[in-house]
Amino acid sequence: MFITFEGIDGCGKSTQIAIFEAMLKDKGISPVITLEPGGTMIGKAIRKILLDVENTQLTPLTELFLYEADRAQHVNEIIKPALEAGKWVICDRYYDATTVYQGLVLQGYEGLIEQLNIEACSHIAPDVTFLLDCPAEIGLSRIEERRRNHTETDRFDRKTLDFHTRIRYGYLALAGKHKERITIIDATLSRERVAIKIEEAMRPYL
Ligand code: TYD
């Protein structure tokens, strides 16, 4: 079983993945928890380039190739072997993030993005994708809170409210196109309510 979590920055993916993992463990399932970018050693090096605030000169195409390079390595090294071994894999972001984030910046490159997504993922599609949906204001205020605790920021944190709003609507449009795979979860609810909704959606598979 391959499950991915998507949503704007600050939508609460990490929290929900941790709760979901605990729920699965209660049921005797030990999932592989992973993320993009940065799910492998090579991916961590790529992530460092992507997140570095000094790297203001990264072109949108360079970014696209780096995300896809991270994914190609990740699928080969982690996701594919785990699925072949019959494990559950839960991934924090996958190719939908590239479709939406890079698709927004690289308008007119939809065909290339789709082709690279397919090649990088070795044709492995998620069985279920949870889109944690909330207004960009909420996501950003959560990031702001995180920032106050950690002081450090990365390149992604610096994007504007307008950017995050457009990402949100990009995700919602994508979910509309893949209703069979993508389940939209209202991420403005309490973390307990969100967790219950995810568990309910997974009931047929448990
Ligand atoms: P991360 O710190 O993991 O953010 P979050 O915890 O909110 O997921 O950084 C991931 C950032 O990378 C996030 O802003 C989205 C972006 N991203 C892309 O633009 N394209 C991609 O293909 C992926 C996987 C992530």
97 CA distance to ligand 1 middle (Å): 7
Question: Amino acid identity, residue 65?
Answer: F
Nearest-CA residue for atom 14 of ligand 1 = 156
Cα 37 to ligand 1 centre (Å): 7
CB of 136 within 8 A of CB of 161?
A: yes
Name residue 2's beta-bridge partners: 89
Ligand 1 atom at minimum distance from 67 CA: 22
Going residue by residue through the chain, which has 206 residues, state the pLDDT in tens, using 9 for 90 and above. Answer: 999 999 999 999 999 999 999 999 999 999 999 999 999 999 999 999 999 999 999 999 999 999 999 999 999 999 999 999 999 999 999 999 999 999 999 999 999 999 999 999 999 999 999 999 999 999 999 888 887 877 666 777 677 899 999 999 999 999 999 999 999 999 999 999 999 999 999 999 99
Gap from CA of 36 to ligand 1 centroid (Å): 7
Half-sphere exposure at residue 167, Cβ-oriented, CA atoms within 13 angstroms: 28
pTM of the model: 0.95
Specify the residue with its C-alpha closest to ligand 1, atom 5: 9
CA dihedral over 50, 7, 95, 36, signed as positive or negative: positive
Scan for tokens 């504007």, then name that residue.
160
- Return the ∠ at Cα 124 (arms to 114 and 167), rounded to 5°: 45
